Amino acid sequence: MMARETLTMRELRRLDVTQARRILDTSEYVHYRFAPDELERLIELYPGVGAFSGAQGPLGRMMGGSLQAFMQVNELTPPCAWIGGFGVTWSQSERYRDYLDLLLPPLADALWARDVRSLYYSGADYESDWLREPLEELGFSLISMLRSYDKSDFSVPSEGNQSIVVRPFEPADAEPLAELERLCFDDLWRHDARAFREAARLYPYFVVAEDQQGIVGYQFNIVDMKIGYLVRIATHPRAWGAGVGARLMTEAVRYFQREGAWKIVLNTEEKNTRAHRLYEWFGFYLTRPRGFALGLPLTAPGAPSQTASG
């Protein structure tokens, strides 16, 4: 049992970055879906909560206590947000379930205040993810299975639609892209204009496709350790089947080739057969493990908790 009364739960602040980074760097009980260098910006942008020990007394309160565990959001487009990171110090690692239990309610309250009504978690391996079962015990349930695809060459089966213009993203595109997004994705996967501007900062390749009627698609990527990550592609439904996706894929493959990637990887939902057809046509093959997404409906602060343990 954990002595909860000796712990203080509070939202993470900038001054907590060093301690949170230390957990990421030194503990094996960590899950994070962001580059560690991004942590400071994430803490500034999105809710995150920490469990601090030794925060009693004037000095403890001033120093903020010693961070034992934290949970941080890395994507937030109301009404949805995603757990981007969770970590427990090495010495507290056996109690990670207790810390999940402690951190989730204050995080949920902070998210509710930002108009979030559902919280999501995605893991890379359904069979062996160490957080899946404890999160399910706290009320999360399976929303979607994910597929992973790889491609190991730069061949393209078609150049795609040549009548459209593909150009770099500009900040003024953010609002029209958010409109397109509503037509293309369920709300948990959706970006709003702010998220698109953030994506432009994070992803070095971000292009927009235009036809005579305006924006008809977009696509963004990153290369890390010589692996090309095809992060996102979408085409306006008015142009589905007209080769816009193929054109965006062709441009992406060329980008990865220029950057010297040795393979290209992507994830998509198990049920997104339209996207599967495009990827498989472009020479992507299915790989293991199978990723997944869990979701939790949030309740108003003070209302009876929907979490299984609450």
Ligand X SMILES: CC(C)(COP(=O)(O)OP(=O)(O)OC[C@H]1O[C@@H](n2cnc3c(N)ncnc32)[C@H](O)[C@@H]1OP(=O)(O)O)[C@@H](O)C(=O)NCCC(=O)NCCS
Q: Which residues bind ligand X (CB under 6 A)?
A: 160, 184-185, 232-235, 239-246, 268, 272, 274-275, 277-278, 281
Please report how close the Cβ of residue 100 comes to ligand X at its closest, in angstroms.
Answer: 29
- The nearer residue to ligand X, 127 or 186, going by C-beta atoms, is 186
Place of tokens 């204009």: 193
DSSP string over 95-131: GHHHHHHHHHHHHHHHHHTTT--EEEEEES-TTT-TT
- The nearer residue to ligand X, 48 or 283, going by C-beta atoms, is 283
Please report how close the Cβ of residue 230 comes to ligand X at its closest, in angstroms.
Answer: 8
- The nearer residue to ligand X, 41 or 276, going by C-beta atoms, is 276
DSSP string over 168-214: E--GGGHHHHHHHHHHHS-GGG---HHHHHHHHHH-SEEEEEEETTE
- DSSP 8-state secondary structure symbol assigned to residue 54: S
Please report how close the Cβ of residue 249 comes to ligand X at its closest, in angstroms.
Answer: 7
Q: Please give the sequence-ordered ranges of beta strands (E in DSSP) within the chain, or none if there are none.
A: 7-11, 30-32, 48-53, 66-77, 80-88, 118-123, 141-151, 165-168, 205-211, 214-224, 227-235, 263-269, 285-287, 292-297
- The nearer residue to ligand X, 21 or 33, going by C-beta atoms, is 33
Please report how close the Cβ of residue 188 comes to ligand X at its closest, in angstroms.
Answer: 12
- The nearer residue to ligand X, 126 or 281, going by C-beta atoms, is 281
> How far apart (Å, rounded) are the C-alpha atoms in residues 27 and 23?
5
Q: How far is CA 191 from the centre of its chain?
A: 11
- The nearer residue to ligand X, 25 or 187, going by C-beta atoms, is 187
> How far apart (Å, rounded) are the C-alpha atoms in residues 157 and 248?
13
Please report how close the Cβ of residue 160 comes to ligand X at its closest, in angstroms.
Answer: 6
- The nearer residue to ligand X, 13 or 238, going by C-beta atoms, is 238
b/e map 195-233, b = 16+ CB within 10 Å: bbebbbeebebbbbbbbeeeebbbbbbbbeeeebbbbbb
Please report how close the Cβ of residue 284 comes to ligand X at its closest, in angstroms.
Answer: 12
Please report how close the Cβ of residue 149 comes to ligand X at its closest, in angstroms.
Answer: 11
- The nearer residue to ligand X, 61 or 182, going by C-beta atoms, is 182
CA dist 28 → 23, 74, 224, 235 (Å): 9, 20, 22, 40
Q: By beta-carbon distance, which residue lies closest to ligand X?
A: 245
Please report how close the Cβ of residue 308 comes to ligand X at its closest, in angstroms.
Answer: 31
